[in-house]
Amino acid sequence: MAQLDKHNNLIGGLGNYAFKQVDGKTFVQRKPGRNGVKQTKRTKQSASDFGTASSTTKRLSVSLRRLFQTYYDRQMFNRLRKTVYKAMLSNTELPKGQKDLWEGDIALLDGLEFNLSSLYIDYCKSGLHCSLTDDQEIKLETDELNPKTQLQWPQKADRAEVCYMVSTYRKEDYMPLQEEVFKLEVTPFSIPLVSQTFTTAVLPSPCLVIVSSCVMYFKEDALLGTISINHKALHPAKIEKVLRLED
């Protein structure tokens, strides 16, 4: 049954047609299998791969949500799912219907921004380098950071935390395994920081590893103490790098 949502957009179905909203526009499509319109084996396989991309994205987001919280733009999940799907499809050796992120080009996820209203690359100009050690650890090495010139400071921000999160996922189903968070705490008046090195605990294998970053801003209140001032339009966060940890 077709109906209007809270934004007065038409959604649902009416007879042989379905309505959906994409980027603020209403699209109408005929329902598969109605009036002679049938899905072929190929379209069913493609639909299966897209469903896998959707479920994979949902599981990756379980851990990543700790980083981007509720401060992401409205198309973030679609953008993440499309990138996961594109990475899956990059493996042309696997047949349709059997695509998997593990076998795809995971580098396509590197640099994905979680909030287009406050791009991480605009707010933090210090780079991060990720590598796998011989002991099955992830080593993070930051570039030098001058808080005054390499961080963008919103009005009322008294200090900031540049946060790096390492999330690991089980190869078979991308269920989260463990997380580690590392932080650099600075103020607008802090002296430049030399390169910092962080090393995770030994990671289980095989697993998928996602290294992500965000900048948290805080103000100091005489009564309430430290208050986070990040919000829906101010939360610089992105994926730094995705790695595979083989057996």
pLDDT at 47 over 70: yes
pLDDT of residue 48: 86
pLDDT at 5: 72
Q: What are the backbone dihedrals phi and psi of residue 54, each rounded to the nearest 5 degrees, phi first? A: -65, -45
pTM to 2 decimal places = 0.83
Q: What is the mean pLDDT of residues 14-40?
A: 64
pLDDT band at 225 (very low <50, low <70, confident <90, very high): very high
* Burial of residue 222, with CB atoms counted within 10 A of its CB: 0-12 exposed, 13-18 middle, 19 or more buried: exposed
Q: What confidence tier does 22 reach under pLDDT thresholds 50, 70, 90? A: low
Residue 84 has pLDDT above 80, yes or no: yes
pLDDT of residue 2: 60
What is the tens place of the pLDDT at every residue in 126-173? 999 999 999 999 999 999 999 999 999 999 999 999 999 999 999 999
Question: Nearest 5°: CA angle at 130, between 125 and 132?
Answer: 175
Among residues 234, 233, 127, 223, which one has the least CA distance to residue 184? 127
Give the whole-angstrom CA distance, residue 236 versus residue 98: 35
Residue 6 has pLDDT above 80, yes or no: no
Specify whether the CB–CB gap between 241 and 177 falls below 8 A. Answer: no
pLDDT given at position 18 = 75
Taking the CA atoms of the chain, what radius of gyration do you get in angstroms?
Answer: 21
Residue range 89-106: mean pLDDT, rounded: 95
